[in-house]
Amino acid sequence: MSSSEQEPECDFPEIPVGPLSVMDDCWMVGRRNPESMLQCNTYIRTFRQFGGRRNVCIDPGSCLDFEFVRSNIEQLVGSLHDVHGMTINHQDPDVAGNAPWFCDGNPEIEMIVSEDVWRLLRHMMLSPGKLRLTAGRTRSISTQQPFQFVPTPFCHFRGAMALYDPEQRILYSGDLFGGLNSPGKVHLLATEDDWAGIAQFHQLYMPSREILRHAVREIMTLQPKVEIIAPQHGHVITGDLVGLFLERMHELLVGSDLLSSEWDTESLSGYTDLLKSLVDCAIEERGELNVSGRINSLEPFDDLHTHLRLKNRDVILERDGYSALAKVFARLVDGEAGEYARKLSGAVVQASEGLGLPIPPAISGTFGSWEERNP
């Protein structure tokens, strides 16, 4: 990875700035924002043909980041006028917000999207010079059309369309394989530790494991084999992590899986143990009266009493362990300092590792969500 020689713009050490090289002729030009838990990745891929260059933007990104994206593109290729093509995975504002600027910058720009995406995207009053709509998977590529289109339905939009560049073996996967990051941890290339943020992001935004399994199977059949996954959020996945994260994604429970009664019943005893670890830690710190008062109270009106009750330090969990855990944690840390929340979070994370159960993002603390509320 390389970066331009700009001064860091904030107090976080080692924040990459400027265009970041994924490989020759492929750059990530989105903003790295150390204060955000969600980095938006925009890519510029340059195709060299007949002595000329064709620059294609993959996922133009969020309006919040536009000045960074524009500056990075200017350093790379000259100006927005020199971006000849643009692809958009789906119509979310963090993906497509900057699209009008690209259309203004180059009125001749060619836009490539799926039909399902365009049906909604057209309401942004976009005016690309040329519009190419894709429907279904393609296997062949040409000089004019160098990507294979890989539909990834419901990941997380019905018409989401990943792009495969077989020349560089890079899959531009949109939100699929995107991840949250801890504040300040905005490096471009993923490490194994970044899986936690990827899992959390998918548990929040992807509808079900079956949907993910379909996408993983499609990716596994691509030829030549995918060597790099470049998602629209978080980190670029390379090397052995590609196979490892594909395997993990195939098994990950997300979205509606976490609400299903079957899974809930199976995991009830595991969540009882997790809740017990949390409650024990809280009692040790704040005493039984404080903890039982917070958990057994009928206020706030979060329906916690329909999930569980606390009787003589014993957790009696009836249903919905995943969401009960989030509610108990929220009650225990309400109005408390970050240090206490960190301690409780540590107890849950440690217990969950042995049980292999997902933890709601608000509890993991990995992404600073409770630190924002409990400074």
CA distances from 353 to 221, 248, 280 (A): 32, 15, 17
Instruction: Rule CB under 5 A: say whether 165 interacts with Fe ion.
Output: no
Distance (Å, whole) CA 310 – CA 287? 14
Residue type, 158: R
Residue nearer to Fe ion on the CB measure, 232 or 366: 232
Q: Which is nearer to Fe ion, 90 or 187 (CB)?
A: 90
Choice between 29 and 357, CB closer to Fe ion: 29
When asked if residue 59 is in the footprint of Fe ion (CB under 5 A), the reply is no
Phi, psi of 366 (to 5 degrees): -55, -35
> Smaller CB distance to Fe ion: residue 92 or 165?
92
Cβ of residue 89: shortest distance to Fe ion, in angstroms? 8
Residue 143 identity: T
- Residue 94 or residue 165: which is nearer to Fe ion going by CB? 94
Select the span of 88-96, 117-125, 267-275, 366-374 touching Fe ion (CB under 5 A): 88-96
State yes or no: residue 65 binds Fe ion (CB under 5 A). no
One of 59, 65, 94, 165 touching Fe ion (CB under 5 A): 94
φ, ψ dihedrals at 317, nearest 5° = -100, 125
> Closest approach of Cβ 218 to Fe ion, in Å?
18
Task: Give 338-345's long-range contacts (Cβ < 8 A, gap of 24+).
Answer: 338/370, 338/371, 338/374, 338/375, 340/285, 340/286, 340/374, 341/365, 341/370, 341/371, 341/374, 342/371, 343/281, 343/285, 344/278, 344/281, 344/282, 344/285, 345/370
Closest separation in Å from C-beta 212 to Fe ion: 15
Of these, 16, 65, 80, 92, which contacts Fe ion (CB under 5 A)?
Answer: 92
Q: Nearer to Fe ion by C-beta: 77 or 230? A: 230
* Residues 218-237 interacting with Fe ion (rule: CB under 5 A): 232
Name the minimum Å distance from CB 36 to Fe ion. Answer: 13
- φ/ψ of residue 144, rounded to 5: -75, -25
110 makes contact with Fe ion (CB under 5 A):
no
- SS3 labels along 262-293: HHHHHHHHHHHHHHHHHHHHHHHHHCHHHHHH
Does 320 interact with Fe ion (rule: CB under 5 A)?
A: no
Binding track, positions 182-221, relative to Fe ion; x by CB under 5 A: ----------------------------------------
- Establish if 175 lies at the interface with Fe ion (CB under 5 A): yes
CB closer to Fe ion, 340 vs 367: 367
Residue length, the chain?
Answer: 375
CA-based nearest residue to 134, from 155, 163, 112: 112
Binding interface with Fe ion (CB under 5 A): 92, 94, 175, 232
